[in-house]
Amino acid sequence: MSGILGEFAYINWSMLIKIVKEIRDHKFIYLLLFLILIGATFVRVYNTRNILGFYYDQGRDALVIWNFLHKGDIFLVGPTTGLQGVLLGPLFYLIITPFYFLGGGNPVWPANFLAILTVISIIVVYVFSLEFFNRYAGLITAGIVGFSYYLIVAARWLANPTPIFLTSVILLYSLAKIVKKKESAWWVVAVLMIGFSLQFEAASAVFYLPAFAIFIAWQRKKLPSRRILVASVFVFILTLAPQIIFEIKNNFVITRAILRTLFEEKSFRLSFWEVLAARLSFYWKMFFIKIWIANIRQFWAFSLGVLAIVILNFRELWANKTFRILILFGASPLIGFILFQGNEGNVFDYYFSGFYLIYILLFAIGLSYLVKSKFGMIFLVLFFVLFFQMQIPAVKKYLVVGRSNVSLKEQLAAIDWVYKDADGRAFNVDVYVPPIIPYAYDYLFKWQALAYGYEPSGDREDLLYTLYEKDGGSKFFREWISRQEGIGKLEEETVFRGLVVQRRNRI
Output the pLDDT for position 12: 62
Of 172, 77, 165, 86, which Cα lies nearest the Cα of 131? 172
Q: DSSP 3-state assignment of 83?
A: coil
User: Could you give the CA distance from residue 417 to residue 423 in angstroms, rounded to a whole number?
Assistant: 10
User: Could you give the CA distance from residue 296 to residue 303 in angstroms, rounded to a whole number?
Assistant: 10
Identify the burial level of 286 via C-beta atoms within 10 angstroms of its C-beta, where 0-12 means exposed, 13-18 middle and 19 or more buried: buried
Instruction: Say yes or no to pLDDT of 1 above 60.
Output: no
Percent of the chain with pLDDT over 90: 70
Instruction: Say yes or no to pLDDT of 271 above 70.
Output: no
pLDDT band at residue 7 using 50, 70 and 90 as cut-offs:
very low
Buried b / exposed e across 352-376, counting CB within 10 Å, b at 16+?
A: bbbbbbbbbbbbbbbbbbbbeeeeb
pLDDT, averaged across the chain? 90
Percent of the chain with pLDDT over 70: 92
Q: How far is CA 171 from CA 79, 90, 186, 211, 320, in A?
A: 23, 20, 9, 12, 18
Candidate from 138-152, 183-197, 442-456, 472-486 with smallest mean pLDDT: 472-486
- Mean pLDDT, residues 150-156: 97
Longest dimension (CA), the chain: 82
- Mean pLDDT, residues 199-223: 91
Of 172, 164, 147, 131, which Cα lies nearest the Cα of 37? 147
Phi, psi of 490 (to 5 degrees): -70, 125
Domain locations in the chain? 2-45+76-401, 408-506
Q: Which amino acid is at 176?
A: A
Output the pLDDT for position 9: 52
- Mean pLDDT, residues 380-394: 95
Please write the tens of the pLDDT for every residue from 62-113. 999 999 999 999 988 888 876 666 788 999 999 999 999 999 999 999 999 9
Candidate from 171-175, 334-338, 439-443 with smallest mean pLDDT: 334-338
Output the pLDDT for position 470: 83
* Sequence-ordered alpha helix ranges (H) in 402-487: 408-422, 439-452, 475-487
- Mean pLDDT, residues 158-163: 96
| CB count in 10 Å sphere of residue 306 | 20
Instruction: Say yes or no to pLDDT of 264 above 70.
Output: no
DSSP at 331: H
User: Could you give the CA distance from residue 118 to residue 130 in angstroms, rounded to a whole number?
Assistant: 18
> pTM here?
0.91
- Mean pLDDT, residues 137-153: 97
- Mean pLDDT, residues 272-279: 77
Candidate from 8-22, 154-168, 262-276, 359-373 with smallest mean pLDDT: 262-276
Instruction: Say yes or no to pLDDT of 503 above 60.
Output: yes
